[in-house]
Structure 1
């Protein structure tokens, strides 16, 4: 097996697979006007997903994260999890969700093979959460996270998009939750996309603001693991949980990149930004195309750039993060 590697020596064993770009929340920074489909959706079917997974597994993919949009909107979400878990070579099955179905269904997902879950919770103040997301199910989402913890999933993480004027001053509230809960809480800098230029200017908050507060309170940077991505993780002896910082505008952010993305319509994205995607779906209609799929993946890695160029003001071809899975 020849693992995927780009011309900069980076190896890619992590696939973020979107199965829908639909979402039922109206997050200010992503889909403030709600999801608006462009024509009839033509998302990949289960057989196409199975063939895609088989091809990626042949080139060394060991972790698959199911994303959206909101992936749990698909009625066959549980079957997708089962497909991923049954793919030889895949060792980690993860998903990212807004959590609206978590409380009722996470036990079923766990039985289907889910090992890791990331839940987007942009504020621990219910009113602020509702303003940011356009949804009022905060209490149910927190109960769902608590349920996930009691089930013993390998990893439970909370994703927080840092937003000046909304949650930038709420660090004590977040810290209070992870004092006794073994959750990785990850602060993600707001990233500019094609549709969010003015919002970005008004609400972007550098992760260094949180970083400085953590260091002042005795948090220490964890050693980077061999399979770690670009997040900087901090620990504190008085807390059961950890804090992660994802700062895409920082120097050398892309050096540790280890992930590729496939959109819900079957396009390979070498980066969350910068390009419009490489077609794979024409090779997902029959099992005999697997060798061609593998060859196309290897060829595509030759096009991957060293960085996303966000720091140069390039917001790329991505209209919003829901379109290819964040």
Structure 2
């Protein structure tokens, strides 16, 4: 195993975000308001391809994998994928981001297969708002699933909420009440501009600075960031079991701490969520593929990683919507 992946800016990459599918059964207003539509292109990575991919990244020092989508739980082979990824030598953390639609029924199986952490997308605690944003009336089920997750010994249980002006930007007090007795991390994510949501972005984008000010006024303190943590600035309070995270991609120096690479559900390496090119890895993931060539291709492509994204200039790259690569 190498000492780890490092780019020309000195950033280290212990963390891989791997999309398992582009399909999603929700119709979130900020992502897929008209629902997912298959495009007829080649199918998503198979189980054996996924294992070869993760093994190559592990050989390069990567030890944390997050399974994303689309909605990863739509894959019927998800338990087998989790088990395969968790058994790769060197992989210590297997997390997943899900919309929670199958959480109460399937989470124990995923945990048994090797899942160590879960992030659940839940943009509102209010049932009617949740329905309006996602197109589904499942807030109650997801809350049940989160309570179940807290009993299963996972390393972390988190909630992702996209911050939307005039939709859910007044819910901080409700989330505080939720976190008083639950060891959950709630992360507010600034709405990001993607290839097909410009009008929605202009209408609902809200900078997270106001939330940070509210948290600090209420006695919440920022804590140091772990080496393999995501991009959130995390805040804790001695009177609450849970924590808040703020993900603000439009903030100054947001990309300085980047520590993750992405692979799409079709096997393309993306050096940035909003990059304008992908590097095809799938030809090297076949049974007769050259393992050394795969490792070499991953390692050498980091020289092309930019210092930061181009969101401030309206440059959204190849990402049409977040379901296409998992955020």
Question: Hey, what does 1:120 align to over in structure 2?
Answer: 121
Q: What does 1:1-326 align with in structure 2 at a 5 Å threshold?
A: 1-2=1-2, 3-39=4-40, 41-286=42-287, 288-326=289-327
> Please, what TM-score do these two structures have when normalized by structure 1?
0.98
Q: Is the 8 A contact 2:64 2:228 kept in 1?
A: no
Q: Deviations over 1:200-251 (max 9, x none)?
A: 0000011111101101111111122333332100001111000000000001
Q: 1:280 Cα deviation (Å)?
A: 0.3
CA distance in 1, matches of 2:186, 2:89: 31
Q: Is the 8 A contact 2:94 2:117 kept in 1?
A: yes
SS of the aligned residue for 2:211 comes to helix
SS of the aligned residue for 1:94 comes to strand
Q: Deviations over 1:277-296 (max 9, x none)?
A: 11000000126511101100
In the alignment of these two chains, the number of paired residues is 326
CA distance in 1, matches of 2:326, 2:248: 18
Q: 1:174 Cα deviation (Å)?
A: 1.1
Q: Deviations over 1:39-67 (max 9, x none)?
A: 15510111111110111110011000000
> Please, what TM-score do these two structures have when normalized by structure 2?
0.98
SS of the aligned residue for 1:286 comes to coil
Q: Is the 8 A contact 1:97 1:118 kept in 2?
A: yes
SS of the aligned residue for 1:302 comes to helix
CA distance in 1, matches of 2:324, 2:19: 9
Q: Is the 8 A contact 1:194 1:319 kept in 2?
A: yes
Q: Is the 8 A contact 2:283 2:289 kept in 1?
A: no
SS of the aligned residue for 2:178 comes to helix
SS of the aligned residue for 1:66 comes to strand
CA distance in 2, matches of 1:85, 1:236: 33
Q: 1:276 Cα deviation (Å)?
A: 2.9
CA distance in 1, matches of 2:209, 2:15: 27
Q: Deviations over 1:155-177 (max 9, x none)?
A: 00000000001100111111111
SS of the aligned residue for 2:240 comes to coil
Structure 1 residue runs of 5 or longer lacking an equivalent are none
Q: Which moved more, 1:226-235 or 1:259-268?
A: 226-235
Q: Deviations over 1:295-321 (max 9, x none)?
A: 001111010000012123222221001
- CA distance 1:228–1:40, change in 2 (3 Å): closer
